[in-house]
Amino acid sequence: MPKEQMLQRILDCGVVAVIRASSGEVLADVASALAEGGVHCVEVTFTVPAAHRVLEDLTSRLGGKIFVGAGTVLDSETARVAILSGAEFVVSPTVHLGVIELCRRYDKAVIPGALTPTEVLSAWQAGADIVKIFPSEITGPAYLKALRGPLPQVRLMPTGGVNLLTAADFLKAGACALGVGGALVDAKSIQERDFARITTLARQYMEIVRRTREEMNGGK
């Protein structure tokens, strides 16, 4: 998929589900449950054992139904493995210029993590498509709004601290999308294979995105 098309999918969906587990075997079922609830963008972290095989499995089984990215990518070597394994976008917790450069070379969307204004602008100038504000559980929506003041051109996606109570506030603060981990795909639901709960939560997040965006657009 061309990068611009993938980027638009992320922006339209408004939620990137960060999924991690001690085993990758169950993550295809998790991804299916998310898609059923309307969350079609999923990020498989490279903390998952054999994450590249999970990426291959998800893209093979669910390609077209979900859009798979790789997360916790710390270097360009891992980014290349992720892309060759089917990742359509790459997410990093830091501003790693080599990762950004490699993703641009392969025309894949890249979302580096940053916190300070200097890091955010450095990531954007280097070619980031979206900048992940991480860890947002420390800073909250007010900080995101403050960043948007001098940097309105930068697409910002908070990750960490995004839950059903804060999601709308982050969107109103200027988030282009939300990175949601354990508050959407929690370890207990995965362990108990409670996929119905994951689907229900996904629907709730998507409803918040729909309703908040509609409100911000004056009800249109």
- What is the full DSSP assignment across 48-61? STTHHHHHHHHHHH
Q: Which of 25, 132, 137, 192 is catalytic?
A: 132
Can you count the helices (H) and strands (E) in the chain?
10, 9
Here the tokens at position 16 are 């990137």
Q: What is the DSSP letter of 176?
A: S
Three-state secondary structure call for residue 4: helix
Three-state secondary structure call for residue 96: coil
How many Cα atoms are found within 13 Å in the side-chain-facing hemisphere of 73?
A: 32
43 is a catalytic site residue: yes
Q: What are the start-end ranges of the E strands in the chain? A: 15-19, 41-45, 67-71, 89-91, 109-111, 113-114, 131-133, 156-158, 178-180
Q: Which of 36, 43, 56, 77 is catalytic?
A: 43
CA distance linking residue 167 with residue 100, whole number of Å: 27
Catalytic center residues: 43, 132
